[in-house]
């Protein structure tokens, strides 16, 4: 397991268990230790990628575009250690929770938008973001990543969690993952992939760079 963690992310003991943690106000009932809060990889694909030792390239302080922010479980951790963090979420109900998470995080900018339509938030999100993090439950996940590539710096990085069952519930996840990888290569060079089964069934973590 890699311990090359971003600045602002540490391993700390919570109830005798060694876990990833960030500094910030709690969001989803996670255990806390003073100003530190545990990062639950069973509720966070990015947390799972870090726990599995994937080379995310995160260092801390990056500008981030996060697609599929939901109620803020993961993106709140990201905003604890990153720079400006643009959080795109399509559904109104979780966005209310996301707005609450952002109240104590001045670097977190919630956007009630559809990640499949990046033109609707292009006027808000700065160009040349360092990291594009994607965790969306929709068909066409590779296409979403390709459409949002416009925001990513040439030396930026895509951290993608592919949900096989959102693409096609009838097909084997391995076949779905292969199709997503193939389409993704239209605009990205894939650096690393790993199944997230330890924490999330039928998910693949992909790290890629723009071509």
**90/116 Cα distance (integer angstroms):** 9
Q: How many domains does the chain have?
A: 1
Within a domain: 119: yes
Q: Decide if 12 is inside a domain.
A: no
57 within domain boundaries: yes
Please, is 182 exposed, middle or buried when counting C-beta atoms within 10 Å of its C-beta (0-12, 13-18, 19+)?
exposed
Query: Cα–Cα distance between 90 and 113 in angstroms, integer?
Result: 5
pLDDT surpasses 90 at 3:
no
Note whether residue 135 is domain-resident. yes
Binding residues for S-adenosyl-L-methionine: 73-74, 89-90, 114-115, 135-138
**Would you say residue 20 lies in a domain?**
no
> Is residue 193 in a domain?
yes
**Residue range 29-43, pLDDT digits in tens:** 999 999 999 999 999
Q: Residue 1's pLDDT is what?
A: 42
- Fill in the DSSP letter of residue 149: G
Per-residue pLDDT tens digits for 164-190: 999 999 999 999 999 999 999 999 999
**Binding site: residue ranges?**
73-74, 89-90, 114-115, 135-138
> What CATH number is given to the structural domain containing 114?
3.40.50.150
> In terms of residue numbers, what domain contains 106?
41-210
Structure-model confidence comparison of residues 17 and 1, the more confident one: 17
Q: Is residue 34 part of a domain?
A: no
Mean pLDDT calculated for residue range 118-147: 97
205, part of any domain = yes
136 Cβ partners below 8 Å, 6+ apart?
Answer: 67, 68, 115, 144, 163, 166
């Amino acid at each position: 397991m890699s311990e090359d963690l971003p600045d602002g992310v540490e391993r700390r003991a919570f109830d005798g268990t060694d876990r990833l943690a960030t500094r910030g106000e709690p969001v989803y009932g996670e255990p806390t230790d003073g100003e530190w809060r545990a990062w639950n990889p069973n509720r966070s694909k990015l947390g799972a990628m870090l726990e599995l030792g994937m080379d995310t390239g995160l260092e801390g302080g990056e500008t981030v575009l996060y697609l599929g922010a939901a109620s803020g479980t993961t993106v709140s951790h990201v905003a604890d250690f990153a720079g400006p963090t643009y959080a795109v979420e399509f559904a109104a109900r979780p966005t209310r929770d996301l707005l609450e998470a952002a109240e104590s995080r001045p670097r977190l900018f919630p956007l009630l938008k559809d990640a499949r339509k990046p033109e609707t938030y292009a006027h808000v999100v700065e160009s040349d973001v360092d990291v594009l993090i994607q965790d969306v439950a929709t068909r066409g996940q590779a296409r979403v990543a390709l459409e949002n590539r416009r925001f990513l710096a040439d030396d930026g990085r895509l951290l993608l969690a592919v949900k096989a069952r959102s693409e096609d519930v009838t097909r084997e996840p391995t076949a779905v993952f292969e199709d997503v990888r193939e389409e993704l290569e239209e605009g990205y060079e894939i650096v690393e992939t790993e199944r997230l089964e330890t924490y999330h069934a039928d998910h693949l973590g992909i790290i890629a760079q723009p071509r």
